[in-house]
Amino acid sequence: MKKISFCINTSRNEREYLLLLLNSLKENTQIENHEVLIFIDSDNQKTYRTLIKYKETIPDLKICKNTKCPLGHQRNSAILFNEAKNDIICYLQSDMVVGPNFDQHIIKNLTDENTVLSCARIEPPIHPESPEKITKDFGLEPDNFKYDEFKTFVSELQKENRPNIKGHFAPFAVYKKTWFDKLGSFDTQFRCSREDSDTIIRMHLLGLNLIQSWNACVYHFTCVSSRGTGWYKDDEAAKYKNDLQNKADEQELKRFFRKWGYFGHLPKPVYDVTFSINLDHFADLNLLKAIEPYCTRMYLNDLKVVQQLRSQLEFESYYYSNLRWKYTKEYWEENKQFFFLNDFNDRIRYVGDKAWKIEEKEGDSMVIFKNSDLKKNPQEGFKILTSIQDLIDDTNIGTYEHGFFKFYIREKNNLQKEKIKFDYKKILTGDFKFE
């Protein structure tokens, strides 16, 4: 049997979920053939001390405990994968339980290094149904989980021998070489969500074969790693968690737009585009913040507005995520280097009186308009600016006018390939010891 490195991240209040997952790995895989790596991103429940006992029953168990603020699974997954000694890595979240013969079905379906294998999720009816998962309630928490019923259900499902389908999501298995040499890990600018969507686009651009097996199954309690335990309950604590996660998600979506120009899972051309705005009327910062993610850079002719806009965008970009991960200001300043952040000093630029000299402007394409026109016609403006990538893709090089917009399309260089990889080695920096 090929050997698998099962890589698991776990954080606050997740100990009981993690123990359930480990017990399922012991029972439903030939665990003596494999490696289990666990990154404890928060040890508020003395999880490390509990896991030491598992070394007696899991022969190749390695544990790393982060003693500071949580890193987030985008970064600690890279640390886990890098430590893995086997060719095949399987990424699991602590709020999952694996089904019978889990390892065998991974090995059977992960046929080559060009394949990324996702495992079928079985989830309680909290989220809407979707074709890539099975909705069936076996419990909402570890203490009420119907483990035997789940195993029986999976065994019956496996007898159906459903054909594989296309798709990608966690949990997944992939060759370690493929993950690092081709993808370069998760993009850590996505700190609370959207890293999976970003990864899917990059996988497509690399021509990887994304498949899902219905026989390699997990039960997924859902959202514990992102929203915390008890997030689905009708109480104030859950409301706070969900409201905070939603605010963080808004920022993640903006980061996605900044990188790809749209939201989706299939690749689309990405072009360099500058918004050059004549602030002929007092600035509405909320309006400017709303359109900012859809351009590569924004030129403004008011220095005070530029400074304020930069400040607000940067603050909002990290504030909600830092609250989510309980980062202090000091800790963030020390560690923000490990996240691939947007540079708002570069994105928001002061140009003064030169704003209207097209020949002096940076960028392949430029959209020029007056602030007053956008404020008078916000719906028309938003329709154009939020679909600017599609518009450029469908338009030839040249100069155009549409409504109150002037378009200068000078070049059409597709930037997709520049966005696939990054220097993942930077996020591996740190004193992380697996014992």
The whole-number pLDDT of residue 353 equals 62
pLDDT band of residue 361 (cuts 50, 70, 90) is low
**What is d(CA 311, CA 321) in angstroms, rounded to the nearest whole number?**
17
Q: Is the pLDDT of residue 332 over 60?
A: yes
What is the reported pLDDT for 356?
Answer: 54
Query: How far is 423 from 183, CA to CA, in rounded Å?
Result: 10
The pLDDT of residue 171 is above 80: yes
State the Cα–Cα distance between residues 253 and 268, nearest whole angstrom: 16
SS3 call for 388: helix
Q: What is the pLDDT of residues 198-232, one digit of tens each?
A: 999 999 999 999 999 999 999 999 877 766 667 67
Mean of per-residue pLDDT scores for the chain: 93
Q: How far apart are CA 433 and CA 164, in angstroms?
A: 38
pTM for this entry: 0.93
Token pair for 228: 């915390």
> How many alpha carbons fall within 13 Å on the CB side of residue 295?
28
pLDDT band with cut points at 50, 70 and 90 for residue 19: very high
- 390-425 pLDDT, tens per residue? 999 999 999 999 999 999 999 999 999 999 988 889
Q: Residues 43-76: pLDDT tens digits?
A: 988 999 999 989 989 999 999 999 888 888 889 9
- The pLDDT assigned to 253 comes to 97
In the prediction, which pLDDT does 11 show? 87
* Percent with pLDDT over 90 in the chain: 81
Please report the pLDDT score of residue 354 as a whole number: 57
What pLDDT score does 179 carry? 96
DSSP 284-344: -HHHHHHHGGGSSEEEES-HHHHHHHHHHHHHHHHHHHHHHHT--HHHHHHHGGGS----H
**pLDDT classification of 368: cutoffs 50, 70, 90:** very high
Task: Please compute the mean of the pLDDT values over residues 344-366 and round it to a whole number.
Answer: 78
The end-to-end CA distance of the chain, in Å, is: 25
Nearest of 225, 232, 236 to residue 96 by alpha carbon: 225
Cα separation, 213 vs 121, whole angstroms? 10
Structural domains of the chain sorted by starting position, each given as residue range(s) with its CATH number in brackets: 4-235 (3.90.550.10), 271-413 (no CATH)
Angle at 316 between CA 424 and CA 381, to 5 degrees: 105
> Average pLDDT, stretch 309-336?
94
pLDDT at 351: 87
Other Cβ atoms within 10 Å of 195 Cβ, number:
22
Whether the per-residue pLDDT at 92 is higher than 80: the answer is yes
